[in-house]
Amino acid sequence: MNARITDIHKKDIAHALHPYTNLAAHEEQGPLVITRGEGVYVWDDQNNRYLEGLAGLWCVSLGFSEERLAKAAADQFAALPYSHTFAHRSTEPVIALSEKLIEIAPEPMTRAFFLNSGSEAIDAMIRFTWYYNNGRGLPKKKKIISRKRGYHGVTVAGGSLTAIPLMQNDFDLPLERMIHTDPAGYYRYGQSGESEEAFASRLADNLEQLIINEGPDTVAAFVAEPVMGAGGVMLPPATYFEKIQVVLDKYDVLMVADEVICGFGRTGNMWGSQTYDIRPDMVTCAKQLSSGYLPISALMISDKVYEVLKAQSRKHGALGMGYTYGGHPVSCAVALETLKIYEERDTVGHVRSVAPRFQERLAQLGSSTLVGEARGVGLIGALELVMDKNSAKQYPAEVKAGATLVARAQARGLIVRALPGDVIGICPPLIITETQIDELFDSLAEAVSETEGLLRRAA
């Protein structure tokens, strides 16, 4: 057992079940127990400081010590710690937050529906899509298309759209009705000699063929992250969404933008949909909606969807679903304060001003022989690790190249994340300064060269 393991670690090992964790390895190595945070930094229970290079799980946009959010929560707890939105009930925070989200939505949306997590927002999107097409008299039109390596959460339905083997194998997923098309990663999936535009055309053609093969009268919606996050930070190739949307329009397929990571400034615009000219019919968002301080997500729907839902609820007597904690007043108050802070401090403008430094330092790491591609936009980036740079061949999974790099970074006080396909994800709090960006990449550069040495020696 690891020498660092203390009593509290033993209790964690004995009682806590950790998601996305090798449970057997956890019994050996124990947890990293985070005890406090300030700005872009967090500390563990041994008082080691880390720069949080993934903003928790892509969410803590305002850093780990924003007092205004703590106060917004405390004030709302004092005023009204709980109420709900079932059966015509509402609260002031729900009303104000809905109004604000509809005002800033990337495309005209007419209603916001609140839930507790990105997964639930996706799940509600699926339900509403089915309800919508039943309401339109199209009961066969139910299939939902996502992309391989897309991440859309872990509910049984959302986890069927999350097309990553680790998250489906032996969980008996995906469910029927959930189908998958190509991931939009040019570096790994583009063919030799193929331009980005030609790659985008091929993907749009493949999508069209898939819809034709399935039967256009059976395909209801296409869901995509503007930048594919947890599946490996893949940016859409030039002209991709433009071409995809032509296909969706042709076959009456809804476009759903999953903005759970990209929403609220991450890509240098308020929405990833704005960065990539996406015209969604529905939008899911979460994470940076409350800077991760409290669980909250939202599904926004356009008028064309809303009108059918309204007719359906009239027919059935009510919109037959809802969550006890959906639109929790304290979560909504914190989200509202988060959006106020973004506006007052021009957080999107800040992202734009520091992103060039972030992207420049990221790109420099692309010269390492271990890095096949360094890619990013705004304040999100990734390094895709390879064994051979010319062929883009990857290390065998058992080498754990990504995990090795993450461990080397952590030993230097930097938290980054290993994603599927030996991709290292970098996604710091949006409040990060240029000096802190340099600190992040100085540590990451050292970790890359140390990992390079370790892996080359082992080879």
Q: Give the footprint of ligand PLP on this chain (CB under 6 A).
A: 57, 117-119, 122, 151-153, 225, 229-230, 258, 260-261, 286
> Considering beta carbons, is residue 135 or 326 the nearer one to ligand PLP?
326
Quick one: how far is CA 394 from the chain centroid? 24
Tokens (6 digits) for 197: 């535009």
Is the CB of 119 or the CB of 410 nearer to ligand PLP? 119
Note whether 244 and 222 are within 8 A (CB).
Answer: yes
Amino acid occupying residue 187: Y
Minimum Å gap between C-beta 120 and ligand PLP is 7
Q: Which residue has the CB atom at the shortest distance from ligand PLP?
A: 118
CB of 131 to ligand PLP, least distance (A): 20
Which ranges of 215-328 does DSSP label H, i.e. alpha helix?
240-250, 272-275, 303-316
Minimum distance of ligand PLP from residue 248's CB (angstroms): 19
- Closest approach of ligand PLP to the CB of residue 170, in Å: 20
Q: Which is nearer to ligand PLP, 117 or 267 (CB)?
A: 117
DSSP3 helix / strand / coil % (the chain, rounded to 5): 45, 15, 40
The residues pairing with 424 across neighbouring beta strands, listed in sequence order, are 383, 418
In the complex, minimum distance from the CB of residue 284 to ligand PLP, in angstroms, rounded to a whole number: 7
Comparing CB distances to ligand PLP, the nearer of 141 and 152 is 152
Nearer to ligand PLP, 152 or 328 (CB): 152
Tokens, residue 188: 């790994």
Query: Between 125 and 370, whose beta carbon lies closer to ligand PLP?
Result: 125
Phi, psi at 382, each rounded to 5°: -155, 155
Rg (CA), the chain: 22
Instruction: Give the integer Cα–Cα distance in Å for 383 and 351.
Output: 20
Least distance in angstroms from the C-beta of 123 to ligand PLP: 9
From residue 234, alpha-carbon distances to 186, 222, 226, 302 in Å are: 8, 17, 9, 27
With H, G, I as helix, E, B as strand and everything else as coil, classify residue 388: strand
